[in-house]
């Protein structure tokens, strides 16, 4: 399968595979299209995937690179980059039991080089950026993307520019600056950072803004989450997938990943029901879903889930369409529910997720409580980032013991009788 | 009353390469109409059939998204800056 061109999702106008992201005719988003013709039969294709490297490049047939997976070459700044993807899919049986469900799997994308799913999209965007000859990476970030861009640029030996809202979690700021990037904290919210970067990308057309002028390539990287889920389930589909939504790009591309493989016949079954998860403090898509609208009224974010704090989601209309078409939905949960979700996942699976993951867990809990999930369903919960990035969210959420170093004090304080 | 309108690169083929336009108008709607008079091709690119803006077009008045104000009915002070940008960035 080879990438063919960029096509406007609104009006269908086609463009060459360059650093373009907006249709000049109608301002719609551009998406990569492929020639789905394969010379190989499906069994051969499956074997090739299974024999591939244990990262996103095992799916190179479905990614928009002209030259295949990146690898070492003679160029000074040329390395394969950070090995993103191929993260664990864990059978969360105790979580399922607590929620009265039969089968829940956790796709733990905290297990990426910079501990979030953003390493996938940055791997693809940066590889394509190098094919197109760009000399610098840049992004507008709510935190995780900044980590991923700064680290990937360091691995590739490229300069980078990371723009973030100035009120981000300290862990995400430190986890970006350490890589030697040009870190720019903007006094404003993410939507203002994004507006600034949209203007900047026009002024600095020699920079690859991964989520602006490289966005059609970048977003394709998220399809690999769906491919991995299918492969790790033994070439089967889940019945339902719960995905957190900020801009909506991840949600639409996980859907697309499943859809492509169903269409090709690589996996059999029906498209999974897609549930989107947002925080009540930033729920433009959930609000629109509840109101029956097909557009999102922007909001001013106020939530502990800062990685999801996009008040003006670029792919919001498509999330609404796909959630409705698959029989899913878009739900929003409170900050308290998010904290409880982080705790529930940690206690039942050993996975410590950041606030965005807490949003996903809390929405799963809510769907289970409402009886929206058939007890026989196989559900996959997408966990996008690591709890060590949002420590403030869990501070004070548990008790501990402080004792003198004596047996007596231990027994007195903890009260566990010796056996 | 003259307002400065900043044109994004994606639309400059419809403005003869101009990145800025000076337009008269008291509301966003009037300014956009004035812009469409200057550059006729812009209308079909960013306006929908009902005369509103297409769904992937963002308009900012002095940096503020007009959807937080009164939309296209937002009043525009003399000398203000209106910025048109694609909505599909970020995330």
More confident residue, B89 or A415: B89
In what helix (H) or strand (E) does residue A33 lie, and over which residues does it extend?
Answer: strand A30-35
Find the CB nearest A298 among B45, B56, B65.
B65
Which of A:205-244 have CB within 8 Å of B? 209, 211-212, 215
Only one residue has tokens 């799913």, namely A117
Q: Does B87 contact A at CB distance below 8 Å?
A: yes
pTM metric for this prediction: 0.96
Residues A53-77 have a mean pLDDT of 80
B88 and A10: CB-CB below 8 Å?
Answer: no
Place of tokens 């809202």: A165
Residue A48 has a pLDDT of: 92
- Higher local confidence (pLDDT), A14 or A77: A14
- Stretch A308-319: mean pLDDT, rounded? 97
What pLDDT is recorded for position B67?
95
Residue A38 predicted with pLDDT over 80 = no
- Assess A312–B contact: CB distance below 8 Å, yes or no: yes
Contact (CB<8Å) A314/B65: no
Q: Tell me what ipTM this predicted complex has.
A: 0.95
Closest Cα in chain B to A23: B10
- Residue A295 CA to residue A318 CA, distance in Å, equals 9
What three-state secondary structure class fits A367?
helix
* Contact between A84 and A112 (Cβ < 8 Å): yes
What is the pairing mode between strands A136-140 and A207-209?
parallel
Asked if A370 contacts A322 with a C-beta cutoff of 8 angstroms, the reply is: no
CB A6 within 8 A of CB A17: yes
pLDDT by residue (tens digit) across A376-416? 999 999 999 999 999 999 999 999 999 999 999 999 999 87
Q: Give the chain B residue whose CA is nearest to the CA of A212.
A: B89
Query: Hey, are the CB atoms on A191 and B65 less than 8 Å from each other?
Result: yes
Query: What pLDDT shows up at residue A77?
Result: 41
Angle at A26 between CA A23 and CA A29, to 5 degrees: 45
In the predicted structure, residue B44 carries a pLDDT above the cut 90: yes
Question: Given pLDDT bands bounded at 50, 70 and 90, which one contains residue A76?
Answer: very low
Nearest CA in chain B to A294: B55
Separation CA A240–CA A376 (nearest Å): 11
Residue A69 burial (CB count, 10 A): 17
Q: What pLDDT is stored for residue B89 in this prediction?
A: 93
Instruction: Report whether pLDDT(A31) > 50.
Output: yes
Percent composition of chain B: helix, strand, coil (DSSP 3-state, to 5): 30, 30, 40
Of A317, A134, A29, give the one whose Cα is nearest residue B10.
A29
Rounded mean pLDDT, A243-250: 98
Q: Give the residue from A84, A89, A165 showing the smallest Cα distance to A125.
A: A84
Give the model's pLDDT for residue B51: 81
* Half-sphere exposure for B90 (CA within 13 Å, toward CB): 34
């Amino acid at each position: 399968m080879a990438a063919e061109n960029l096509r406007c999702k609104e009006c269908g106008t086609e463009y060459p595979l360059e650093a373009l992201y907006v249709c000049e005719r109608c301002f719609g988003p551009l998406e990569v299209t492929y020639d789905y013709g394969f010379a190989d039969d499906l069994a051969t294709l499956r074997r090739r995937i299974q024999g591939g490297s244990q990262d996103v490049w095992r799916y190179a047939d479905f990614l928009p690179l002209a030259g295949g997976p990146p690898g070492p070459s003679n160029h000074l700044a040329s390395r394969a980059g950070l090995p993103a993807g191929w993260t664990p899919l864990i059978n969360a049986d105790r979580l399922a039991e607590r929620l009265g469900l039969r089968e829940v799997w956790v796709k733990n994308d905290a297990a990426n080089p910079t501990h979030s799913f953003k390493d996938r999209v940055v791997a693809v965007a940066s590889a394509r950026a190098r094919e197109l000859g760009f000399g610098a990476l840049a992004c507008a970030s709510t935190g995780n993307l900044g980590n991923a861009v700064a680290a990937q640029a360091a691995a590739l030996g490229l300069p980078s520019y990371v723009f973030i809202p100035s009120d981000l979690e300290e862990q995400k700021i430190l986890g970006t600056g350490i890589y030697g990037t040009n870190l720019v904290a903007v006094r404003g919210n993410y939507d203002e950072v994004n507006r600034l970067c949209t203007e900047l990308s026009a002024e600095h057309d020699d920079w690859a803004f991964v989520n602006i002028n490289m966005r059609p390539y970048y977003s394709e990287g998220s399809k690999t989450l769906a491919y991995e889920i299918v492969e790790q389930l033994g070439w089967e589909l889940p019945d339902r997938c719960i995905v957190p939504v900020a801009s909506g790009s991840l949600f639409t591309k996980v859907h697309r990943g499943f859809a492509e493989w169903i269409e090709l016949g690589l996996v059999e079954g029906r498209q999974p029901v897609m549930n989107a998860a947002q925080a009540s403090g930033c729920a433009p898509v959930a609000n629109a879903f509840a109101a029956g609208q097909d557009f999102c009224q922007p909001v001013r974010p106020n939530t502990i889930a800062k990685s999801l704090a996009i008040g003006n989601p670029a792919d919001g209309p498509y999330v609404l369409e796909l959630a409705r078409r698959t029989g899913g939905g878009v739900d929003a949960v409170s900050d308290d529910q998010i904290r409880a979700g982080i705790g529930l996942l940690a206690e039942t699976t050993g996975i410590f997720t950041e606030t965005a993951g807490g949003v996903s867990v809390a929405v799963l809990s809510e769907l289970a409580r409402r009886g929206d999930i058939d007890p026989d369903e196989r559900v996959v919960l997408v966990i996008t980032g690591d709890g060590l990035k949002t420590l403030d969210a869990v501070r004070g959420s548990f008790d501990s013991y402080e004792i003198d170093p004596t047996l007596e004090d231990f027994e007195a304080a903890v009260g566990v009788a010796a056996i | 009353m003259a307002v400065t309108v900043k044109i994004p690169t994606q639309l400059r083929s419809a403005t003869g390469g101009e990145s800025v336009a000076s337009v008269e108008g008291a509301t966003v709607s009037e300014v956009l109409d004035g812009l469409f008079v200057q550059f006729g091709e812009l209308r079909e690119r960013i306006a929908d059939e009902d005369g509103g803006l297409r769904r992937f077009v963002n308009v900012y008045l002095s940096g503020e998204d007009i959807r937080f104000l009164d939309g296209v009915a937002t009043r525009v002070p003399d000398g203000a800056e209106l910025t048109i940008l694609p909505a599909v960035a970020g995330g």
